[in-house]
Structure 1
Amino acid sequence: MAVKQPDIELASRASASASTSTAREPPVSWARLPHKSQLLILAACRLSEPLSNTCLLPYLYYLIRSLDSDDGNGHKATTSSISRRAGLLVAVFALAQFATSMLWARLADRFGRKPIIVYPLLASIIANLGFGFGTTIPRVMFWRLVAGIANGNIGVMRTMTAEIVTDRKYQSRAFLLLPLVFNGGNIAGLALGGLLATPTKSLPWLFGGIEWMDKYPFALPTIANAVALTVSLALAVGGLRETLPSRTGPGHRDIGIELRRKFFRLLFRLRAHSYQALSTNEFATSPTTDRSTIHELPQRQTPATPFLPTGSLRTKLIAMTLCGFTFLPLHNAAFMQLFPIFLSTPINTNNTTSHTHVGGLFFTGGLGYDSSTIGLYLSAFGCSGIFLQMFIYPTLQSKFGTLAIFRFAFIIFPLSYVLTPYVLLLNGSIKRGIATAVVLFLQVMARTLAIPSSVILLTNAAPSPKMLGTLHGIGNMFSSLARAVGPAFGGWVSAKGMEMGMVGCVWWTYLTGIAIIGVLMSWRMEEGKSPHERERGELSQRKEDD
């Protein structure tokens, strides 16, 4: 049957109109990201883990050496023993995360997302202070354990991000925000740890003669952490809104937001002569309205059509995505612990003489940097990661896709690990500095591209929005286990390598081996669709079928 000419013209006009509408739609940018205030508060809470976990890395070698010499056994700490203890100290944090991540996810599904962010944040503040004033290895181990428990709620934060921003076109920006803040927290933690450790020696003009700083030389960085996290806690209590549907809407009070309203009302009443107009227009609101927060989350309405079944988590897509999600921290966390030790270990001047033998495999030592140099060095290169995440990653992700970026990042990791030990064989501090910068930049670039990609891939593997919390809880559990096993096993392999005169042992065997397995794993992975878009499509299809 022939199509009438008017119908053809009408279809042509509709197509042209749709094309024009699409062409006029502005590109996705940070400024167009919805609910920015909520995402920024959530990002501030995300600072807890990197500050707690990376602050000690610049001075980890010196901390363990000082505690090891004060244990009363009368033995001198060796590089191999420091490497073992460093691995355990880093691992206990992630092990506690692994043990509690699913518990936090279940509690968040029952009591709401906000309490499971606020209370652990308070515990993290206490743990940071306790760690800074610890004087024995068992004590600092205990406080690392508490900090790990308090930071086992990362999956809950990722779930909140998915519940705040459901449109897939904003995903690359929204899910990039937490890794972006994570990188920023790493930079801040490394800088604070490097600059503020042993302040009476590194900054004598400012802290010289302060007795308690001589007694607790590593307390000042953790105090700075606690102050920063206290600000995050205040923002979360007073500004973060619940996203769990069963805990939102009429009948559910948020005491923190109510206290914030009362505080600002009291503040503006005290300054009514200066802020009368502002107090009248913006803060004289009804008890159920809060106009002081920009871009409030819309109230969730009960859908007219019931949700489809949530589906199963036992799929090949989810299994392979979880494998990739786990293999990334298995070597990356070990690198984060081993590289500062590599930078701190004293230089072995025999590396470039006759002691280098068997094809350049057997040599020891490190670069001999102090904690302040290490902190500044690592934080400076962390800044390059921030630049990549903000300006390069979104463009690459939109052009090549999330999975392609993830695979490319995994290919870079083995290259950086293989090259790292050979930095020691170069003559001259300038050559060593340049070579160290190259291998560090390769690793930073790889993890900067891989971390947000892994989160997006895991989110899009969920069969339903209702399964996001559970899936991210499982992902965080496996990731935490990997971040415990990686540094612990890496520290053990590193110690064995030191004992046999091969500093590169852990780099060429464990780190490179795991990274290569990760490359092979990434090529078996697939990229799913956004669970919110998938569910909307299935509901639409059901309506058409009915």
Structure 2
Amino acid sequence: MANQRAGEDEEERLLEGVANNEKTDAIKARTLEEKGTWKSLPHKKQLLLLALCRLSTPLSNACLLPYLYYLVESILSDPDHPSAPQKISRMTGLLVAAFPLGQMSTSMIWGHVSDTYGRKPAILAGLAMSVIANFSFGFSRTIGMLLFWRVVAGMANGVLGVMRTMTAEIVKEKKYRSRAFLAPPLIFNSGRVIALAIGGCLADPVDHLPSLFGSSGFFNFFHNPGGVSWTITYPYALPAIFNGTVLGICWVLAMLCLRESLPTKEPGRDFGLVIGKSISGFVKRKFLRRRGSGYSAVQIEEGEVLMADIRMAEASSSCSSTPTHSTRHEAQPSRPAFRHIWTPHLLKTLFAFCLLPLHNSTFLHIFPVFLSMPVADNPHPTAFRFSGGLGLASPTVGLYLATLGICGILLQLFLYPCIHTRIGTLGTLRFASSMFPVVYMFAPYLSLLAGTPKVKWPAMAAVLFSQVMARTMAIPSNVILLTEAAPRKGVLGTVHGAGNTLSAMASACGPVIGGLIMAKGMNAGIVGIVWWTWLCLVALLALGWSFMMRTGDMEDEGDEIAVMDERSK
């Protein structure tokens, strides 16, 4: 009897242990599900397509930076004139500022178009404009035409806010937002690193790639003694051709595979998706399924196959995405009046959204110049009065920036999600904002280390790495906060259009103001004045402003907006 009782107790303990293990496993699985991981992130293909569409910005904007000086120099009638360097500098500054100015002018328009006609048509139209602008820029040989096509490229990239809106609509669950909003910046940063390398390598191919375009090059089919004739006439067209080709491929992929995310437009029939499904089905049937079959299927005319595919895709689309009659006529939430979109919470978030590019774009412009400036003697430097740069060659600067750009990609992949999970979106923004003033305070002192290589390189790495890490955390946090500040989902395109407009305006103004202050500082023998008076002050303002912000979903103010709309009626 005692043995039987002991056996029953042992069995109960075993069953209890199994139950506890199952409970623990269930809790772990639920915790992982609540956190949201890269593996469980929904709609990965759609996010990848959106990220590829965002390549239009780095390819259109960053690719020309390595050869911009030489492009302008090749157009000048008298490049050897003593005043030519100053003129070239002014022209390159205008060309750099033209892109964000064009972007600023159309961001709100693109947002409104996407809210009215759909996200996908707006993105396709923007990509088509980018393709045309890039090809045309490469074959322009006057300053006026170069400026015009830079503005057009910027206008096309005003669609960036629409892409951010589409990301928010594709990934609706809050736990996935931090990773969903990281996908486009990851592709953006990767594209920027590649664009800098491609721009430097493909520019003036007769000199840089003589084995392909030189007098005995592979592509010199007509044996022109100077090299491929069109590359002599248009020495900086090849990077633009590369950009236009890549963006053209992105346009085709978006047309065939990207799904509309605007709720009022989702039920509509998308012939691009129908054609994409037909092509995909044809490829699978022609090249994948037939390999495994041991017999030959009855051949059907290609036209009949295509029509059958189209009919099947349309039927599948109508079954999966078209709502029932009752759902179709369900009352959609009305869009608030335009003046009621701009709630106090949204306005505070928009102000924070433009402060970040105001100092970050200045840093991206000033820091490479600072690294390239000649070294000064500084025989008796004081704490604030010293001058000079680090005297690095342009290939070294480019390689250094590209290397740290790769570090930024790794930080976005592995560090940001962990920090965001631990301290939240607003906490991450505040943490990143606290790093910027420290970086800007110590950056100019690098010039005092120019003669000590053992200290100079680690100090440069520390400054640049800290800035890269701070902006890696701040940019996606800013985007998430702006998305959550929108009063209704139906106005996300307008809200992100406004954010993109302010961001572009800040990106255009920041480098201009920073460059003027830096020139004043160089004349006064105080190289750090731009860092301490402009960059530090803007960064401190952004840090202080982050403590006036709050988090909140876009539904939080829906009732308030509805009341305001009722009152206006």
TM range (shorter): 0.7 to 0.9
Equivalent residues of 1:58, 1:374 under 8 A apart: no
Q: Is structure 2 residue 83 aligned with structure 1 residue 76?
A: yes
Given residue 494 of structure 1, which amino acid in structure 2 is its aligned partner?
M
8 Å CA contact 1:87, 1:491 repeated in 2: no
**Is 1:121–1:229's contact at 8 Å kept on the other side of the alignment?**
yes
Asked whether the 8 Å contact 1:194–1:376 carries over to 2, the reply is: no
Distance 1:77 1:398 in 2: 53
- Cα 1:286–1:532 shift into 2, 3 Å: farther
Report the counterpart of residue 8 of structure 2 in structure 1.
Answer: none
Contact 1:192 1:375 in 2 (8 A): no
Instruction: Give the superposition deviation at 1:398.
Output: 0.9
1:459-481 alpha-carbon deviations (Å, 9 max, x no partner): 11122212222211111111111
The structure-2 alpha-carbon separation of the partners of 1:217 and 1:444, relative to structure 1 and needing over 3 Å to count, comes to farther
**Shift in Å, 1:218:** 3.3
Within 1, Cα distance between the matches of 2:537 and 2:87? 24
Task: Give the whole-Å Cα distance in 2 for the aligned partners of 1:342 and 1:461.
Answer: 38
Given the alignment, which residue of 421, 436, 451 partners 1:398? 421
Range moving further from structure 2, 236-245 or 197-206: 197-206
Indicate conservation of the 8 Å contact 2:178/2:420, yes or no: yes
Letter paired with 2:400? Y
- CA deviations on 1:151-203 (whole Å, 9 max, x unpaired) are 00111111111111111111111122122222222222222223333444445
- Residue of structure 2 in register with 1:41 after alignment: 49
Distance, in Å, in 2 between the alignment partners of 1:490 and 1:41 is 36
2:337 corresponds to 1:313: no
C-alpha contact (below 8 Å) 2:115/2:490 kept by paired residues:
no
- Structure 1 position 352 matched with structure 2 position 377: yes
Aligned to 2:465: 441
Contact 1:417 1:512 in 2 (8 A): yes
Asked if 2 retains the 8 angstrom alpha-carbon contact of 1:58 and 1:340, the reply is: no
Comparing both chains, which one has the higher relative contact order based on Cα–Cα distances under 8 Å and sequence gaps of 6 or more? 1
- For 2:510 and 2:133, how far apart are their aligned partners in 1? 23
Q: Distance in 2 between matches of 1:341 and 1:476?
A: 26
Q: Partner residue of 2:446?
A: 423
In structure 2, C-alpha distance between the alignment counterparts of 1:272 and 1:405, rounded to whole Å: 47
Partner of 1:166: 172
Aligned match of 1:516 in 523, 540, 550? 540
Change (3 A) 1:433 1:276: same
Aligned position for 1:197 = 203
Measure, in 2, the Cα distance between the counterparts of 1:298 and 1:18. 40
Say whether residues 1:505 and 2:529 are aligned partners: yes
Aligned-partner residue type, residue 84 of structure 2: A
For residues 205 and 524 of structure 2, the distance between their equivalents in structure 1, rounded to whole angstroms, comes to: 36
C-alpha contact (below 8 Å) 2:73/2:79 kept by paired residues: no
Deviations 1:490-511 (A, max 9, x none): 2333333344444433233222
Find 1:242's aligned residue among 260, 265, 274: 260
Residue 361 (structure 2) pairs with residue 333 (structure 1): yes
Cα distance in 1 for partners of 2:494, 2:297 equals 43
1:466 matched to 2:473? The reply is: no
Residues 167 and 532, structure 1, Cα contact 8 Å, conserved in 2: no
Of all paired residues, the percent bearing the same amino acid is 44
- Indicate the residue corresponding to 2:237 in structure 1: 219
Identify the residue that residue 11 of structure 1 maps to in structure 2.
Answer: none
Q: Which moved more, 1:297-306 or 1:29-38?
A: 297-306
Partner of 2:136: 130
Instruction: Tell me the secondary structure at the aligned position of residue 424 of structure 1.
Output: helix
CA distance in 1, matches of 2:353, 2:138: 32
Residues 199, 359 of structure 1: alpha-carbon distance in 2 compared, 3 angstrom cutoff: farther
Q: Which runs of 5+ in 1 are unaligned?
A: 1-16, 540-546
Distance 2:411 2:316 in 1: 33
CA 1:271–1:316: 2 relative to 1, 3 Å: closer
CA 1:337–1:353 in structure 2 vs 1: closer, same or farther (change >3 Å)?
A: closer
Query: Equivalents in 2 of 1:245, 1:128: separation in Å?
Result: 33
Give 1:517 shift: 1.4
Is 2:64 aligned against 1:24? no
TM-score, normalised on structure 2?
A: 0.79
Superposed displacement of residue 441, structure 1: 1.1
Structure 1 residues 436 and 225: CA distance shift in structure 2, 3 A? farther
**CA–CA distance in structure 2, aligned partners of residues 84 and 256 of structure 1:** 45
What is the CA distance between 1:262 and its match in structure 2?
4.2
Secondary structure of 2:83's counterpart equals coil
1:313-367, Cα deviation, whole Å (9 max, x unpaired): 333321211111010011111222223333444x23xx1353x655453423553
- 1:99 paired to 2:105: yes
Matching of residue 146 in structure 1 with residue 152 in structure 2: yes
Query: Which segment drifts farther, 98-107 or 414-423?
Result: 414-423
Match of 1:157 in 2: 163
The alpha carbon displacement at 1:383 in A equals 1.0
**TM-score, normalised by the number of residues in structure 1:** 0.82
The answer to whether the 8 A contact 2:274-2:314 is kept is: no
Alpha-carbon contact 1:238-1:259 (below 8 Å) kept: yes
Unmatched runs of 5 consecutive residues or more in structure 2: 1-21, 216-226, 299-304, 563-569
Q: Which secondary structure state, in structure 1, belongs to the residue aligned with residue 261 of structure 2?
A: coil
Bigger CA radius of gyration: 2
The CA distance in 2 between the partners of 1:93 and 1:511, in whole Å, is 22
Correspondence for 1:381: 404
How many angstroms does 1:91 deviate by?
1.7
